[in-house]
Copies of this chain bind each other. A is one copy, B any other.
Amino acid sequence: MQQITQPTLILDERKCKTNIAHMARKAEDAGVEFRPHFKTHQSLEIGQWFKEHGIAKITVSSVGMAQYFATEWDDILIAFPVNVRELTAINELAGRVKLSLLVESVEVLELLHEKLTHPVSFYIKIDTGAHRTGVAPTDFASIDQILAAAKQPGKLKFVGFLSHAGHTYHTNAITDILKIRNDENLAMLQLKAHYIGSHPGIIASIGDTPSCSLVDHFLGIDEIRPGNFVFYDLMQLSFGSCSPGQIAVALACPVVALHKDRNEMVIYGGGVHLSKDMLRINQNSVYGQLVEKEGDGWVEPIPGMIVKRLSQEHGIVSLPKTQNDKFDIGDLVYVLPVHSCMTADIYSQYITTDGKNIERFRHS
């Protein structure tokens, strides 16, 4: 860590492996298939840590990510509406691995039908309330239309229904998250019950980290796909999905200025290093939270030391009077990110607290 000169993403391998083990055991205990979403870590090496728990199927959110993981994984779901401009790459992938896609319109299904050169499984995306993508769970007309089109002989195989209760991210209370989860679960159960007779063997797949972290039962659900839990972050902490000790990534940032007169410290670590994702806590904007260092790792958040403003390269940290004498220019501080998926996406590698380099996928 002494050699770090610039904002650097640090990974606590032990915390990360504990998060993975915990979710894998939860899925096993609940008797559901675990198809983890790899969009958060985007790393082949971290993927290997899942293999140690017998995980064989994964979820990703882009064709590029699927190509990256296809070197070591042979059952991949791209949980993003089919981007028909990438059909060449999709066909190439489907020739190498068991590929699953997400469909929500008959238009895309018919295009796939026409253009696919290899067998592909598809889920129908169900909108259980997030209103991002998908068909309403009661919109049998649209679902029937897709299923009718899928019955033509061809490369497409219908495997089930998939939802992502992303609206859990817009709540502030655990009870709200649990209510959303229950509604989602019920909607997916009813949907599966409606179609299982005509389509034996279909499954119901759900996904978000808040609800997968907060509940232990997945009644009638066959597959879960959380992703963020691998690292967690301040947003998940604010939901109650994790404890501070479970957050497995931090951004190491040099201190470049102290302004004790206005209770502020400036770090080299701005919007291009942390991302501009923000939490509102008690009317305050929060872009990160400083943690107490211990060895090359970190322990508890330091009360009151919040990254409260960001410009391109600067982070402005609130510096309570009690911390006034604890920091010098040139120190390296650790910042817990608001949204680890967004922060990690900026980097091409992690440095572990043991000093190891771990590569990750880069999309652009």
Which A residues fall within an 8 A CB radius of B?
4-7, 39, 61-64, 80-86, 89, 104-105, 107-108, 111, 131-133, 166, 254, 256-259, 262, 264, 266, 268, 271-273, 275-278, 309, 311-314, 316, 329-330, 332, 341-342, 345-348, 363-364
Contacts and interface: CB of A to CB of B under 8 A. Distances in A.
A85 B341 contact: no
A5 B86 contact: yes
A205 B49 CA distance: 53
Nearest to A266: B133
Contacts of A81: 256-257, 266
Contacts of A277: 271, 276
B276 A275 contact: yes
B86 A312 contact: no
B329 A84 contact: yes
Nearest to A328: B107
B83 A314 contact: no
A84 B347 contact: no
Contacts of A363: 6, 272
A80 B314 contact: yes
A271 B266 contact: no
A-B pairs, top 7 by smallest CB distance, nearest first, are A81-B256, A276-B276, A84-B330, A5-B85, A272-B345, A85-B254, A81-B257
A159 to B, nearest CB: 20
Contacts of A316: 132
B7 A312 contact: no
A256 B132 CA distance: 11
B257 A105 contact: yes
Contact of A80 (B5, B89, B256, B342): B256
Nearest to A338: B276
A261 B62 CA distance: 26
Nearest to A3: B85
B80 A268 contact: yes
Given A83-B256, A166-B311, 8 more contacts: A5-B85, A80-B256, A83-B268, A85-B254, A132-B266, A133-B314, A312-B342, A348-B364
A3 to B, nearest CB: 9
Contacts of A7: 364
Given A132-B309, A275-B276, A330 B61 contact: no
Contacts of A264: 131
Nearest to A135: B259
Contact of A108 (B64, B104, B329, B345): B329
Nearest to A258: B105
A257 B130 CA distance: 15
A83 B331 CA distance: 10
Given A133-B257, A272-B345, A329 B105 contact: yes
B276 A83 contact: no
Nearest to A107: B329
Given A133-B257, A329-B105, A312 B61 contact: yes
A83 B255 CA distance: 8
Contacts of A108: 329
Among A39, A61, A81, A363, chain B packs the most CB atoms within 10 A around the CB of: A81
A80 B268 CA distance: 9
Contacts of A5: 83, 85-86, 89
